[in-house]
């Protein structure tokens, strides 16, 4: 695979430039396949590696001189130069054999064993994502957090980290006062059991409206909250009931979406520890009283105007806030997990919140804060479901499923599947994920169902379609166990182009990992899908001799493996038939 070839190239170059091979390897890039042109396979930009070797000559000249000193061998069949780089073409038979062999051997690990990834520290990664608020709206921001967090967790796991997937629920706050006070009036136990998330939201909206009109109801809610804060057994038991049912329901919906959590944490866990945080800040002299009696931490830099930047960590009645609980939660996780990195996934409106959180942790001397990161994303417009704006994750999934079922019913080529609703759901979710992952995460975008669900173009449906097609083609493969094949059968240009693309997979993973943006992987998989479809048109299997058919099927199998691997990292469950 790429690794072997990069090493062979690095070995030669290293002898000439006297730069260690290891340093050269990250600079040897598999050439991106463009417009079906047959280009060299690898390139090495001279400016990044020849610093002291050739003095005072242009990049062009450097590339020529370096290329002149290199010679082809049994692996490298041709050496040339391009713009500021030396190019390498790999012996065709070897390219075919190596790539197909490695994919067959590594299977789901293909690309992840690459030496490009070997220096990346591997340890315990805590990813906190989704984190909806019980009894409140599950808005599209929570949906984005869920799929992005799941992608990050998948990616980290695939490169060899141990990953803890955590959901930090908004399970504390005045909404429980309202629910506790109003449930006897507006709530219904059967409805609560049947559809807890919806029903709690329904009750919350009603009580909230009433409390705005009616002082008595408001007082009642405050009293309930007080009881809850004081640990009154009856109040706590009702709260636990709401929380448990909600988690149970969420778990079901997350499962449909293809994700799960190792831990349901939540703000409620930190209500006492938040008081410890306030005391700690006080004891370190970091807590100041504001003019309206709240407790604040000064975060302005030396030389700044006084209090140009501060964070409120305590209400005037002494109780904690969202950020106080987050400080407590972070400290607790540092102690409990000793994580190597922690990643929070929320929309960009919380950027300031996390900046403050990290600054305060730093002031408290918590050095592990340097291993914390906030991955943020932009706003989505236009994600409408039948019931209007997104309120329940379930609605979004239902919408994706029913629209996709409709599309499938209207398509003549649809195959009979055992469970069309399940297939439609998996395709619909793929569409949703791809639409969301195409751009920079931090950009806002406008969601459009019919665009997302198109079967051609760069959509999740296209990826699923390609995967299913490859899968049915592979049903023809009788000699699957037979590893040997003749490279002569695979000299078609469309094979070589695809193999060159497959060579780049580890570089794409590396890049994706560096900045946690899924768009590189998405566009890579689209490219692979297009190449797969061209190959599918060009290379007949049924009409070919057994040797040729076997070699071609092995080739199609390799595409399917990498396509499925990449889709799974994105959080998509590949379908075998559609
Ligand atoms: N529940 C919060 C919300 O809906 C998100 C929590 C994000 N995580 C955190 N540690 N603050 O906005």
Q: pLDDT tens digits for 460-470? A: 999 999 999 99
Alpha-carbon distance values, 56 to 82, 121, 514 (Å): 19, 37, 33
Cβ neighbours of 310 (radius 10 Å): 15
- The answer to whether the CB of 297 falls within 8 A of the CB of 363 is yes
Separation between Cα atoms, residue 128 and residue 107, nearest integer Å: 29
Structure letter (DSSP) for residue 369: G
Question: How far is CA 282 from each of CA 112, 294, 312, 313, 314, rounded to the nearest angstrom?
Answer: 48, 13, 13, 11, 11
Distance (angstroms) between ligand 1 centre and the Cα of 536 equals 46
Q: What is the pLDDT averaged over residues 481-497?
A: 92
- Segment 416-423 shows an average pLDDT of 88
Mean local confidence (pLDDT), 341-359: 98
The verdict on the CB of residue 346 being under 6 Å from ligand 1 is yes
Q: By CB neighbour count within 10 A (0-12 exposed, 13-18 middle, 19+ buried), where does 109 fall?
A: middle
Cα separation, 128 vs 81, in Å, equals 47
| pLDDT confidence of residue 390 | 67
Q: What are phi and psi of 344, to 5 degrees?
A: -100, 135
Reported residue count of the chain is 578
Ligand 1 atom with minimal separation from the 329 CA: 10
Residue 15 has pLDDT above 80, yes or no: yes
Q: Whose CA is nearest to atom 5 of ligand 1?
A: 131
Q: Where are the beta strands (DSSP E) in 418-517?
A: 445-446
Mean pLDDT to the nearest integer, 356-382: 97
Q: Tokens 């990449």 sit at which residue?
A: 566
Alpha helices by DSSP H, listed for 195-270, are 196-213, 215-229, 233-257
Q: Is 146 in the pocket of ligand 1 (CB under 6 A)?
A: no
168 Cα to the center of ligand 1, angstroms: 7
Burial 182-204 (b: 16+ CB within 10 A, else e): bbeebbeeeebeebbbbbbbbbb
The atom number, within ligand 1, closest to the CA of 354 reads 11
Q: How far apart are CA 568 and CA 394, in angstroms?
A: 21
- Selection from 427, 475, 469, 415 nearest residue 452 by Cα: 427
| pLDDT over 80 at 542, yes or no | yes
Mean pLDDT of 266-277: 96
For the chain, how big is the Rg over CA atoms in Å?
Answer: 28
Both structure tokens of 388:
């209007």
Q: Taking residues 391-395, report their average pLDDT.
A: 85
Question: 244-266 pLDDT, tens per residue?
Answer: 999 999 999 999 999 999 999 99
CA 220 to chain centre: 43
The side-by-side arrangement of strands in the sheet containing 372-377 is: 263-266, 162-169, 124-128, 341-347, 372-377
Mean pLDDT within 188-209 = 93
d(CA 554, CA 75): 22
Alpha carbon of 415 to ligand 1 centroid (Å): 42
Among the listed residues 133, 217, 226, 232, the one whose alpha carbon sits nearest the alpha carbon of residue 178: 217
For 42-64, the pLDDT digits (tens) are 999 998 887 777 777 888 999 99
What residue ranges define each of the domains in the chain, with the CATH number in brackets?
2-90 (3.30.1360.70), 400-570 (1.10.730.10)
Q: Which residues are catalytic?
A: 136, 139, 142
């Amino acid at each position: 695979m790429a690794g072997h070839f990069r090493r062979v190239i690095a070995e030669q170059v290293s002898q000439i430039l006297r730069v260690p091979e290891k340093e050269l390897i990250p600079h040897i890039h598999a050439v991106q396949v463009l417009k079906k042109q047959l280009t060299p396979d690898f390139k090495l930009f001279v400016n990044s590696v020849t610093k002291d070797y050739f003095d005072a000559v242009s990049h062009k000249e450097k590339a020529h001189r370096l290329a002149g000193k290199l010679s082809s061998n049994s692996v490298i069949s041709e050496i040339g130069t391009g713009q500021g780089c030396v190019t390498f073409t790999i012996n065709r038979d070897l390219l075919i054999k190596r790539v197909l062999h490695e994919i067959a051997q590594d299977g789901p690990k293909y690309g992840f064993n690459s030496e490009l990834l070997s220096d990346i520290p591997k340890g315990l990664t805590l990813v906190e994502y989704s984190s909806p608020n019980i009894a409140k709206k599950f808005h599209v921001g929570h949906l984005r957090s869920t799929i992005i967090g799941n992608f990050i967790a998948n990616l980290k796991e695939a490169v060899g980290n141990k990953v803890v997937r955590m959901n930090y629920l908004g399970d504390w706050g005045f909404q429980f006062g309202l629910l506790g006070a109003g449930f006897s009036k507006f709530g219904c136990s059967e409805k609560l059991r049947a559809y807890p998330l919806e029903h709690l939201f329904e009750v919350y909206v009603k009580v909230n409206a009433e409390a705005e009109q009616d002082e008595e109801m408001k007082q009642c809610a405050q009293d309930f909250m007080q009881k809850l804060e004081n640990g009154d057994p009856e109040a706590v038991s009702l709260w636990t009931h709401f929380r448990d049912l909600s988690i149970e329901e969420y778990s079901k919906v997350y499962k449909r979406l293809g994700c799960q959590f190792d831990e349901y944490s939540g703000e409620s866990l930190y209500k006492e520890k938040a008081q410890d945080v306030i005391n700690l800040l006080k004891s370190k002299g970091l807590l100041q009283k504001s003019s309206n009696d709240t407790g604040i931490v000064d975060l302005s830099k030396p030389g700044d105007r006084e209090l140009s930047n501060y964070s409120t960590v305590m209400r005037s009645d002494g109780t904690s806030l969202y950020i106080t609980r987050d400080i407590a939660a972070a400290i607790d996780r540092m102690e409990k997990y000793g994580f190597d990195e922690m990643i929070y996934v929320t929309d960009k409106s919380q950027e300031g919140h996390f900046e403050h959180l990290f600054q305060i942790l730093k002031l408290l001397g918590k050095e592990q804060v340097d291993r914390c990161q906030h991955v943020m994303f932009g706003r989505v417009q236009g994600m409408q479901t039948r019931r209007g704006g997104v309120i329940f994750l379930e609605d979004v999934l239902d919408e994706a499923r029913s629209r996709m079922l409709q599309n499938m019913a209207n398509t003549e080529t649809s195959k009979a599947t055992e469970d069309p609703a399940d297939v439609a759901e998996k395709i619909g979710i793929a569409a949703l994920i791809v639409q969301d992952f195409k751009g920079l995460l931090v950009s806002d975008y406008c969601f459009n169902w019919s665009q997302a669900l198109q079967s051609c173009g760069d959509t999740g449906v296209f990826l699923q379609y390609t995967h299913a097609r490859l899968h049915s083609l592979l049903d023809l493969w009788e000699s699957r166990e037979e590893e040997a094949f003749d490279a002569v059968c695979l000299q078609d240009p469309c094979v070589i182009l695809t193999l060159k693309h497959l060579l780049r997979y580890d570089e794409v993973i590396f890049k994706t990992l560096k900045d946690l943006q899924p768009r590189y992987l998405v566009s890579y998989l689209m490219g692979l899908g297009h190449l797969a479809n061209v190959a599918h048109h060009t290379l007949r299997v049924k009409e070919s001799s057994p040797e040729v058919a076997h070699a071609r099927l092995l080739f199609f199998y390799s595409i399917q493996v990498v396509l499925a691997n990449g889709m799974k990292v994105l959080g998509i469950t590949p379908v075998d038939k559609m």
